[in-house]
Amino acid sequence: MSSIRGLLVTEYTHFNNLEINEIPRVNLEANQVRIKVKAAGVSFSTKLVVEGKYQRKPPLPFTPGTECAGEVIEVGKDVSRFKPGDRIFAALDWGAYAEEAVAEEVNTYHLTDSLKFSQAVNFNSYATAMAALTWPRLLNVQKGETLLVHGAAGAVGLATLELGKILKATVIGTVSSPEKQTKALEHGADHVINHYDEDFRSKVLEITNGDGANAILDPVGGLTFDQSLRCLAFEGRICPIGFTGGEANKVPSNIILVKNISVVGLNFGTYYGWGPQDIRFKSESLVRDIMGRFCSFADLGLINPVICAEFPLHSFRDAMSLVESRDSMGRVALIMNN
C-alpha cells in the first residue's frame, strides 16, 4: 500500500476546512515504528496547530494529531523494544489523524490489555498529572495533604483526582456544572466546588479550616490562578499547566514571599521533544517509568481513563466541536476503522 487515508494540512487554516485525503506513506527511519492507528486523541491544541497559532509549527504539508494508540506493523532496523503485532501507545510530533502513523521508538510505549485503544489516548493526561503530583521539584504531594484540582472534570483533571487519591491526599475539585460535579465525585474527589455557584477561594478555606490547600494543579490561569494563590497554604505549591481561561498571569511576588509558596511550571510535552530543547533521550527513563505506572494502575483497577465520546475519522469536525464546547468530560477520541 503506497498511500493511506487521513487528514492533510496543506496550509494553515480553520480545522473545519480540512478534508480526508489519500496521503503518501511516510518512509520509516532506523529508530522509528510504523503504527496501525486504532485511536487518536482530540485536543484544542491540535486545532491551534492546524491554524498556525501554536508555538510549534510543523512543516507543511502535515497530518495533525500528537497522541495515538494502535498496533505496530513495522519497525526500523535499530528498534529493539517493539515488534510487529505489539499493542502500543505513542506521542507523535504530528501524524495521528490517519490510518497509519510513524513514531520514534523513544516516544512509544507498550499498552496493557486492560486498556482499550481509545482509553490509551489518555496517556498524556495521566503523565502530566503523575509528573505534577509526584516529581520532587513539582507538587510532590504527600499523604494527608490537601490537593486542589481546577478543571476537575477535564481529562487531566479526572486523572489528577484519581492519582491524588492513590497518594492518599484529600482532594478538592472545581468544576463548572452539576454534571461535572457528579463526574468528579465518581472519580475520587472528596469535595467538589461548582465555581459558577460558589467562590472557590472561600470554600477551600472553609473546607481546610482556614489553612488552605497544600498543592494546586491549575490548567486554567487568569483569575483562577490569582485566587488560587490566596487559598494556598503556607509553604504550599501551585503548578500551572495551561491557560484554558485565555490569560497567562503575572505572578505577584509579594504573595509568594509572604506565604513562602512555590510556583512550579510543567509542560510535559517537553519530555517528548516538543519544547525548545530536545531532552527526550535524556529523560526517557523518567517518562517510561510514568507510562509503566499508567498501565500498572489500570491493571490494578486504580484508574479508569474516561473517554467522553468516540468519533469515526470522517466525523473529525464533530469531535473537535465537542472539545471546543467545553462540555466534554475526559478525552474525546477519533477511531480508525482499519
pLDDT tens, position by position, 42-75: 999 999 999 999 888 899 999 999 999 999 999 9
Asked if pLDDT for residue 337 goes beyond 90, the answer is: no
Close Cβ partners of 54 (under 8 Å, ≥ 6 residues apart): 45, 48
- 253 half-sphere exposure, CB direction, 13 A CA radius: 0
Q: 244: pLDDT confidence band, cut at 50, 70 and 90?
A: confident
Q: Where in the chain is the domain with CATH 3.40.50.720?
A: 125-266
Q: Which amino acid is present at 234?
A: F
The mean pLDDT value for 262-273 works out to: 94
**pLDDT at residue number 71:** 98
Q: 293: pLDDT confidence band, cut at 50, 70 and 90?
A: very high
Q: Is 200 helix (H, G, I), strand (E, B) or coil?
A: helix
Q: 41: pLDDT confidence band, cut at 50, 70 and 90?
A: very high
Whether residue 136 contacts residue 315, with contact meaning beta carbons closer than 8 Å, is answered with no
pLDDT tens readout for residues 116-125? 999 999 999 9
- State the CATH architecture for 3-122+270-335: Alpha-Beta Complex (3.90)
Whether residue 305 contacts residue 280, with contact meaning beta carbons closer than 8 Å, is answered with no
Q: 178: pLDDT confidence band, cut at 50, 70 and 90?
A: very high
**pLDDT at residue number 251:** 82
Spatial CA neighbour of 307 closest among 72, 39, 113, 16:
39
Asked if pLDDT for residue 245 goes beyond 80, the answer is: no
Please list, residue by residue across 147-161, b when 16 or more beta carbons sit within 10 angstroms of its beta carbon and e when fewer do. bbbbbbbbbbbbbbb
Least confident among 74-78, 127-131, 246-250, 256-260: 246-250
The mean pLDDT value for 299-325 works out to: 96
% of the chain beyond a pLDDT of 70: 99
Tell me the CATH number of domain 125-266, given options 3.40.50.720, 2.40.30.10, 3.40.50.12780, 3.40.50.450.
3.40.50.720
Asked if pLDDT for residue 1 goes beyond 80, the answer is: no
% of the chain beyond a pLDDT of 90: 88
Asked if pLDDT for residue 289 goes beyond 90, the answer is: yes
CA distance 121 to 18: 22
Give the mean pLDDT of the chain. 95
**pLDDT at residue number 246:** 65
* Helix, strand, coil % in the chain, rounded to nearest 5: 30, 25, 40
Asked if pLDDT for residue 247 goes beyond 90, the answer is: no
Q: 302: pLDDT confidence band, cut at 50, 70 and 90?
A: very high
Q: Where in the chain is the domain with CATH 3.90.180.10?
A: 3-122+270-335
CA distance 124 to 31: 22
**pLDDT at residue number 275:** 77
Tell me the pTM.
0.95
